[in-house]
Amino acid sequence: MMTTTTMNQERQINSPLRRFFSRFGFGDLMVFLVLIVLLIVIIFPFWWVMRTALTSPGKVFTDTASLLPVETTTFNFERVLGLVDPSELVGMDATNISAGTLNFWIFMRNSFVFSLLITLGQTIFSTLAAYAFARFKFPFRDQIFFFYLTGLMFPGIVLFIPNFVL
């Protein structure tokens, strides 16, 4: 004897896919979709930088349609870190690679020293300013404090743009 059974409502709701989508509303799924798109937009430049760094110098501009590195090599990293002998660079085409080696470690040291000095200077200046604003009562104190905080809120590079345009 053969019987046929139909899928009842309970069984249909208990399917894993149905349970997953029943937890989230349409708005939640749209927010999730927008976040995925933003993630791709944010991650893509970093991916492209790594793809370009791992591509051989001669293929960087010829195969731009590929999302994966073409002729993967670590030559660019070796050159920046100073691990390539300058005699190896002599035979290369000048359009594919800039002449000479880079002084990466000198650049890194200079950046570190500059950042350290700026951070120390800003910390000392801000500490002295905070002490003055907290302890002393002087005319226009609140207005000066407002402009001081406003100046700290703007990155320095933003203030260079109007000077460049003028």
- Does a structural domain hold residue 88? no
Average pLDDT of 53-79? 82
Average predicted confidence (pLDDT) for the chain = 81
- pLDDT of 14 > 90? The answer is no
- Does a structural domain hold residue 125? yes
Q: Which domain covers residue 160, as residue numbers? A: 104-166
pLDDT-based confidence at residue 4 (cuts at 50, 70, 90): low
What is the pLDDT, as a whole number, of residue 120? Answer: 98
- pLDDT of 12 > 70? The answer is no
The count of domains in the chain is 1
- Rounded percentage of the chain residues whose pLDDT exceeds 90: 34
Higher-confidence position of 7 and 126? 126
What is the pLDDT, as a whole number, of residue 154? Answer: 83
- Does a structural domain hold residue 159? yes
- SS3 for the chain is CCCCCCCCHHHHHCCHHHHHHHHCCHHHHHHHHHHHHHHHHHHHHHHHHHHHHCECHHHCCCCCCCCCCCCECCHHHHHHCCCCCHHHHHCCCCCCCCCCCCCHHHHHHHHHHHHHHHHHHHHHHHHHHHHHHHHCCCCCHHHHHHHHHHHHHCCHHHHHHHHHHC
What is the pLDDT, as a whole number, of residue 86? Answer: 67
What is the pLDDT, as a whole number, of residue 2? Answer: 64
- Helix-helix angle 104-135:141-153, to 10 degrees: 160
- Does a structural domain hold residue 29? no
Dump the DSSP string for 96-121: TS-SS---HHHHHHHHHHHHHHHHHH
- Cβ contacts of residue 84 below 8 Å, gap of 6+? 75, 78, 101
Does the global pTM surpass 0.85? no
- Does a structural domain hold residue 160? yes
- Does a structural domain hold residue 157? yes
- pLDDT of 110 > 90? The answer is yes
- Does a structural domain hold residue 162? yes
- pLDDT of 68 > 60? The answer is yes
What is the pLDDT, as a whole number, of residue 81? Answer: 81
- Tokens representing residue 78 in the block: 């070796």
- Tokens representing residue 99 in the block: 């002449």
pLDDT, one tens digit per residue, over 123-156 is 999 999 999 999 999 999 999 999 988 988 888 7
